[in-house]
Amino acid sequence: MSDLDAIFAALADETRRSILAMLLEDDMAVTDVAEPFEMSLAAVSKHLVILTKAGLISQEKRGRVKWCKLRPEAMREAVTWIESFGEIEGIDLDAFEAFLQAEGLAKA
Amino acid sequence: MSDLDAIFAALADETRRSILAMLLEDDMAVTDVAEPFEMSLAAVSKHLVILTKAGLISQEKRGRVKWCKLRPEAMREAVTWIESFGEIEGIDLDAFEAFLQAEGLAKA
DNA sequence: CGAATAGTCAACCAAATGGTTGACCTTTCG
DNA sequence: CGAAAGGTCAACCATTTGGTTGACTATTCG
């Protein structure tokens, strides 16, 4: 499975997109990620494995708690691919980056 | 299934992404879309149904030929969602559009 | 008309997906 | 130590997915 396959497949599920949105706010423990969902912890844990394999999140165990962290860089590949379609054609990425800097929109 | 589910699921397959890339060049008949692939016409036809249901392409029958056409607008939803992650945070879409106009990157 | 072309449909199959439950391991806490 | 908390693993199940083949419909061409 290519990276793109894994990334798009991971994004093709409302539960997983919700998880990513939650992690956008802050890093979270597996149990806390699972709390809002009406499914078992094991099911959520599986979703986290899929997100991890796609590179969209990373998981790090500290003590008995496993922390989940967003890895937005992984979406770059998908964005790069998807942006070759749409109304934006042949966008100059350097100029775009400069624009983001100027607008103060680029992340630290 | 939400629109996003359908769109991301449709994109999570190399064959379908290839088809979209082919259609970026030009509109094509189903038989011609299928030609480069080592699978049956029926299989490709199924992929085209999935792409159609996701809104990523449209199909129009003229005579006995069914033409496939890219509908890049459908990816907007996906791009909008996906761009809330990554190094771009809280991007000002109006400013972005103005930037594209200025750079001459926006489509006619 | 009859034959070829374009494409879909239906039945089938193997593998993957998304969920469950129960057993299990590891770490922390009293 | 013993019990509870945090998670994973394995077995199981129903549904979906991606492919096949063969029959079929509709259109065009000689």
Question: Which pLDDT value is given to residue A29?
Answer: 98
A101 touching B (Cβ < 8 Å): no
Identify whether the C-beta of residue A79 lies closer than 8 Å to the C-beta of residue B82: yes
CB contact under 8 A, B20 and A85: yes
Position A58, amino acid:
S
The whole-number Å distance from B77's CA to C19's C1' is: 28
The whole-number Å distance from A12's CA to D17's C1' is: 14
Q: What is the DSSP string of B8-57?
A: HHHHS-HHHHHHHHHHHH--EEHHHHHTTSSS-HHHHHHHHHHHHHTTSE
- Within 8 A of A71 by CB-CB distance, chain B residues are none
> pLDDT, tens digit, for every residue of B90-108?
444 445 454 444 444 443 3
The DSSP symbol for A108 reads -
Please, which pLDDT band fits residue A50 given cuts at 50, 70 and 90? very high
| Smallest CA–C1' separation from B15, nucleotide | D18
Identify whether the C-beta of residue B74 lies closer than 8 Å to the C-beta of residue A85: no
> pLDDT, tens digit, for every residue of B52-94?
999 999 999 999 999 999 998 888 888 888 877 655 444 444 4
> pLDDT, tens digit, for every residue of A53-92?
999 999 999 999 999 999 988 888 888 888 776 554 444 4
Residue B32 token pair = 């011609």
Identify whether the C-beta of residue B3 lies closer than 8 Å to the C-beta of residue B55: yes
Map tokens 């986290």 to a residue.
A48
Taking the C-alpha atoms of residue B55 and residue B66, their distance in angstroms, rounded to an integer, is 16
